[in-house]
Structure 1
Amino acid sequence: MTPPRKLHIKSYGCQMNVYDAQRMVDTLAPEGFVETASVDDADLVILNTCHIREKASEKVYSELGRLRVAKDVAAADGRKMNIVVAGCVAQAEGNEIIRRAPVVDVVVGPQSYHHLPQLLARAKAGGRALETEFPVADKFGFLPPPKPAAICARGISSFVTVQEGCDKFCTFCVVPYTRGSEVSRPVAKIVDDIKRLADNGVREITLIGQNVNAYHGDGPDGRPWPLGTLLRHLADIPGIERLRYSTSHPCDVEDTLIEAHRDLPQPMPFVHLPVQSGSDRILAAMNRKHTAEDYRRVIDRFRGARQDIAFTSDFIVGFPGESDEDFDATLALVTQIGYAGAYSFKYSSRPGTPAADMQETVPTAVMDERLVRLQELIDSQQSAFNTATIGATVDVLFERAARNPGQIVGRTAWLQPAHVMASDDIIGQVLPVRIESLERYSLLGSLVATPSPQPAQHAHSPTTGA
């Protein structure tokens, strides 16, 4: 019997890359690959790259330098190690990677992961392989329906891609250039994936896409379905207790999505809705296609549908031309909205984007000072949000045993980790928990009622407006 080959994947960046890594593991499993946490004993190493963060390319080349040493050690031991660069940096700089990094055997873009077995075979036969062109046909049409054995539950929660690409062309963003235009998967394929995951014990699904609420996949009736309609359909799948989605754009929040939050228990009252800035002048320079007031109205629509809904967001400080008044407008927006958390970053230029050519840059020291002020405000809001949960009873989906003996950890509807003392037969259940204290970002509490040994079929309605 041929021993399994070992695969190590290092992913950078967004949730989409986390899902893509799982997809690559599933694609390579029939080829005899099993995952390993160690680079040193891997037969195949994949760097699943992201182009969003600062100095993304430099980090990839630095990592490849370390992998060159590991590859030489493997060769000295009589073992061949293949190295693949995948993801958005691969898409953007494929030929440059081939030129600069002879250690790399395969370069593959995000739309071609399902070709990995063929690309590895091509590299074995001809030296190296590169595939970064956008497919002419539907990106998702190239991926054959997964075999039941290839869909494996990685815990209680799982990601499922429903949409890929973006047509917004924000001036700071490389996604339209690395992921291509917006494409939505057909409803039937999404349902098939989620049913298999539910059969394997998954209870929470996060639908992901670069612009997920631009979803308009073909429905069973032959018409394009918006995200809200898709959520209604998925809510009927037995075993799926919770539905989430990320990442959204304020311009694509349709009434059907608001109504899904109003009418269904499965869509969680926790929405990631990036705004990037509170200044209309900067939003226009970013080509965000909405104003700060437009964003506030979207927030109000959600809150009108469900009072306990909470929000996270993304912010960029120091975008070219950002004045003190522009930054003050961002602070004012954050103060008015009140977030449960947010991601905030200093602006960094991305080659090939329109913002990279903007001349009116903000000094680094000013960006640093603004970022500290913004993060202090957001941290205070997150702390207040978590503290408000103390004394309330909230539903928790239990995921796994915690570090402390006898303790089980799960997450609230707002993704707060919550710990209770209980047996592990509650894993996979949604149960009410009385929150008693807060330890850093984790909630500590106790079960309100004795759990049933069977997974709960319906989530409880929250009893707090946290």
Structure 2
Amino acid sequence: MKKYHIITYGCQTNHSDSERISSVLEDMGYSFVEDKYNADLVVINSCSIRQSAVNRIYGQIENIKNGKVIVTGCILKRDGKKLSKKADLILDTKDLLAWPEIIDGLNKKDLDNYFKIKPKNQGGLTALIPIMTGCNNFCSYCVVPYTRGRELSRPLDDIIEEVRLANEKGNKEVWLLGQNVNSYKGKDSKGKEVNFCQLIKEVEKVPGNFWIRFTSSHPKDFSDELIEIIKGSEKITKYLHLPVQSGDDEILERMNRPYKISDYKKFVQKIKKELPDLTLSTDVIVGFPKETEEQFQKTADLFREIPYDMAYISKYSPRPGTPSFKLKDDISNVEKERRWTIINEILMKNNQQRNKFLINKTVEALIEKEKDGFIIGKTKEYKSIKVKGPRSLVGNFVKIKVNKSLSWGLEGDLTN
């Protein structure tokens, strides 16, 4: 039997794509192996968001001596041309239906579009379910609109069916994925347009005991209605990823982020008023071209004002083909590192304070694994937590009284 291995870089959407790639390859007769050096076919599902990620892909290709190598995922045309000299094939996930014919001369006519491909059940407790692909926002630093194309929303019924199947397989949480889930505009079986609020209400109706998470959201599209839906739901978790990117209006304008920082702050205040226990995470870029010390300090002040629990802090990396690539990358790597460190230190302090706030409170958690005598999981608010308990509780929802704040999360005791 032919063997395959998949290496996945990047966001949860890429990981969701990899599950569908696995499904197609296994339909073709391939079996998965853990060792990439023992595979006949190695698929590298790539990310071109930062140059460092592209460099890692080159390194992976160089290391694979025996199997054929396919590179897919978020690839800029410029990177694709260079990679094609080293990889055996460069394929687009949007053309996944044609992969069998390209790879083995097979033609899978029973699959009528990418979203119809059922993902391989990778086991575990979490189902990654794409509700859309592409992006229409064209942030000046971002390659996604060029690698994944314009927004395309998945039909409502297809999403609901995948959620139902995930629940039947034993998944205890579903992640609804999109570059900007709030701009979802799918259609129901009658051809009527459905927005994200309507979609998430329908997902809630699927029978079963499971949590609903979603990512990512764009500040310009997040609605008051969605806040009310989250507030009134037992299934939707109290976790929100709301990228800000910078605390300075001029930098936001150069990034083509169409909101003012004052509006972002007001919206966060509104969310926190309605959902005080909500865990808030964000994305931020330091060292964007022409970012002055004063402008950077506005970002630092934003982190002091808004107690983010988590953040993905990026040092600006110019990507060919994006508008910001034309700007001079005039902030040194040393200065970018300094700014990154300042934001990270503020974030760690905020996180520790937020975790201490939870001491003596009872939280609900989904237990994911057992390690070193502890069972470990995530709370409904997406906080890591560990507790002494039997391995048999892995895969179950439990109630835990928090008794300790750790640098990375929480510790507690099981309650009755």
Residues 34, 385 of structure 1: alpha-carbon distance in 2 compared, 3 angstrom cutoff: farther
Deviation at 1:440?
A: 3.8
SS where residue 368 of structure 1 aligns?
Answer: helix
In 2, Cα distance between the equivalents of 1:144 and 1:58? 30
Residues 141, 295 of structure 1: alpha-carbon distance in 2 compared, 3 angstrom cutoff: farther
In 1, Cα distance between the equivalents of 2:387 and 2:55? 43
Q: Which of the numbers 200, 206, 212 marks the counterpart of 1:243?
A: 212
For residues 223-302 of structure 1, what are the structure 2 equivalents within 5 Å?
223-302=192-271
In 1, Cα distance between the equivalents of 2:96 and 2:39? 19
CA contact (8 A) 2:355 2:406 kept: no
Structure 2 partner of 1:334: 303
For residues 12-91 of structure 1, what are the structure 2 equivalents within 5 Å?
12-67=9-64, 70-71=65-66, 81-89=67-75
> TM-score when scaled to structure 1?
0.84
Deviation at 1:447?
A: 1.4
CA contact (8 A) 1:49 1:90 kept: no
In 1, Cα distance between the equivalents of 2:314 and 2:216? 17
CA contact (8 A) 1:243 1:267 kept: yes
Deviation at 1:44?
A: 1.0
Structure 1 stretches lacking a partner, 5+ long: 72-80, 125-139, 450-466
**Worse overlay, 407-416 or 172-181:** 407-416
> TM-score when scaled to structure 2?
0.93
Q: Which of the numbers 93, 96, 118 marks the counterpart of 1:110?
A: 93
SS where residue 410 of structure 1 aligns?
Answer: strand
Cα-to-partner distance string for 1:362-398 (whole Å, 9 max, x where unaligned):
2333222111111111111112222222221101112
Please provide the CA RMSD for this pair. 2.0
Residues 92, 208 of structure 1: alpha-carbon distance in 2 compared, 3 angstrom cutoff: farther
Residue identity in the other structure for 1:233: E
Residue identity in the other structure for 1:6: K
1:121 maps onto 2:104 in alignment = yes
For residues 140-289 of structure 1, what are the structure 2 equivalents within 5 Å?
142-143=113-114, 145-146=116-117, 151-152=120-121, 154-220=123-189, 222-289=191-258
Q: Percent identity?
A: 30
Deviation at 1:151?
A: 4.9
Residue identity in the other structure for 1:356: F
In 1, Cα distance between the equivalents of 2:191 and 2:285? 40
Residue identity in the other structure for 1:423: P
Structure 1 partner of 2:389: 422
1:371 maps onto 2:340 in alignment = yes
In 2, Cα distance between the equivalents of 1:361 and 1:292? 24
Residue identity in the other structure for 1:86: T
Residue identity in the other structure for 1:229: Q
Residues 362, 120 of structure 1: alpha-carbon distance in 2 compared, 3 angstrom cutoff: same
1:97 maps onto 2:94 in alignment = no
Structure 1 partner of 2:402: 435
1:410 maps onto 2:377 in alignment = yes
CA contact (8 A) 2:204 2:235 kept: yes
SS where residue 37 of structure 2 aligns?
Answer: coil
Deviation at 1:146?
A: 4.4
Q: Radius of gyration: which is bigger?
A: 1
Residue identity in the other structure for 1:33: Y
Deviation at 1:267?
A: 1.4
Cα-to-partner distance string for 1:341-380 (whole Å, 9 max, x where unaligned):
1011111100011111113622333222111111111111
SS where residue 124 of structure 2 aligns?
Answer: coil
In 2, Cα distance between the equivalents of 1:145 and 1:279? 42
Q: Which of the numbers 303, 315, 332 marks the counterpart of 2:272?
A: 303
**Worse overlay, 298-307 or 365-374:** 298-307
Count of residues paired in the alignment? 412
Deviation at 1:221?
A: 5.2
Residue identity in the other structure for 1:107: I
Residues 61, 360 of structure 1: alpha-carbon distance in 2 compared, 3 angstrom cutoff: closer
1:359 maps onto 2:322 in alignment = no
Deviation at 1:144?
A: 6.6
